Amino acid sequence: MPESSYLALFLIGLLGGTHCVVMCGGIVGALSMGGPARASLHLAYNAGRVASYAAAGAIAGALGEASLALSGQLPLRGVLYLLANLMLIALGLYLMGVTRALAFSERFGQKLWRHLQPLSRRFLPARSIAQAFPLGLLWGWLPCGLVYSALATSLTTGSAMHGAALMLAFGAGTLPNLLLAGVLASRLQSYARHPTLRLASGFLILGFGVWGLIGVARLLSQTWPYAS
């Protein structure tokens, strides 16, 4: 797995952080009640959230490994790369407000979330690390097009370990925005909703997807049996 993939997922998490603040701002705001002494709760919550991302990445990577083993790897690998980069393009357009193309993925995730959401109530309000960490574990499965786009990339790794590592890089990218949200709460949520910021973030993520599609085209040109 190229090291550039980890940097790309980190930057996607960082740039898409505006979406994270909007999606998770409510729970982060709840943890903010009580003042700066609650910094440990924010750290525990985010540690749980990123741990869930890593678990999901391991599952995606393992599924990719199984499918590649069954298919003989090509051309399925090219198809998986294509899917991952199309998801990034859709995410960029989604953040820019051009399309709601990723809304279907979040609706699909709602089925899982309906089973998990009731469990989160037992940890609210979170007054200790023992409550904040499992709350983060649960909220890591909140339906989110940004996370699903990153998971599509983990699927291409064909490895549970690499899939988990990619999602750890992605999760690390989301940390600055959500940790800052823990300090600024509602003010950062208003900032994250600003059209200019979302447009710029979406455009940059769109660029990652387009660049990835160029890489897919090169891969196919090198492996397609009828290529010149």
Task: Tally the domains of the chain.
Answer: 1
Exposed (0-12), middle (13-18) or buried (19+): which is 150, by Cβ within 10 Å? buried
Q: Where are the alpha helices (DSSP H) in the chain?
A: 3-15, 17-32, 39-71, 76-96, 103-120, 129-139, 145-155, 160-184, 186-192, 195-223
Least confident of 11-20, 59-68, 190-199: 190-199
Q: Is the dihedral of CA 3, 21, 23, 191 positive or negative?
A: negative
Mean pLDDT of 11-19: 77
Q: Give domain status of residue 147, yes or no.
A: yes
- pLDDT mean over 44-67: 92
| Token pair 């979302």: residue | 198
Residue range 177-187: average pLDDT? 63
- Identify the weakest region by mean pLDDT among 61-75, 124-138, 164-178, 197-211: 61-75
Cα–Cα distance measured from residue 134 to residue 149, given in angstroms and rounded to the nearest whole number = 24
Q: Please report whether residue 183 resides in a domain.
A: yes
Domain assignment present for residue 54? The answer is yes
Does the residue 228 lie in any domain?
no
Asked if residue 129 belongs to a domain, the reply is yes
Please give the pLDDT value at position 62: 93
Domain interval for residue 194: 3-223
